Structure 1
Amino acid sequence: APMGAGLLDADDQDLVRATLRDWDGSHPPLTPDPFPDRRERPGARLALLAALAPYRITDADVAAWRRPEHTDHCLVHLVAYGAFAAVDRIETALTAPAASPTTRETS
């Protein structure tokens, strides 16, 4: 899965990380489409769809990302990267220490 990140340029990697960092755990809305445009950022779109809404990956999403250098093997790495990035985000949220309530001093 980490190899999938290497299939994205630095801007797309940053977008995936920032989106997952800010994700509240809810399902993304259907409209407006919150994912990057498949014509402009097909790799980031696929990684984020795999992370947050894998049931919404379409043939058009895969076709937009396809290039001669992107084999089926690369596709598996990219989708795995997105899925594992989401798992890492969830694990971080679940294992983060709970904020302790502040005590108010009385004077």
Structure 2
Amino acid sequence: MTDLFGGGQPPLGGGDSGRSAKVEVRNPVLGLPAARAIQALPMEQRRPLGILLRELSSQCDAQAEASWLARKGIMAAYWRAVATYSKHLARAIDPRSTGSVLRLDVKSDAEVRS
């Protein structure tokens, strides 16, 4: 009798084995040459950008939720995609940062104009 589940082969789906266990599948950005070049930079140069990208992802998730509640499905999808892209970039730049908010002296548009 044949094995219906692949003859002892690892499963194709998720978990600790199979296709989705590969880092490049979960985060396609990591497969790009530029991502490898970024990872070659010192961590002290990468960490602030990684933190900012995680914050961007969080803000985009909030925008997606607000758009969804306002029944603006296209904009919700857009913001969700931007959140995913920024999270993938953040993980490529700094895989270990916790996403804590970086305190920057950022001026509002009104402050810049005055």
Q: Given the two structures, how large is their TM-score scaled by the length of structure 1?
A: 0.33
Q: Which has the higher contact order (CA 8 A, sep 6+)?
A: 1
State which structure, 1 or 2, has the greater radius of gyration over its C-alpha atoms: 2
Tell me the TM-score normalized by structure 2.
0.32
Bigger proportion of residues as helix: 2
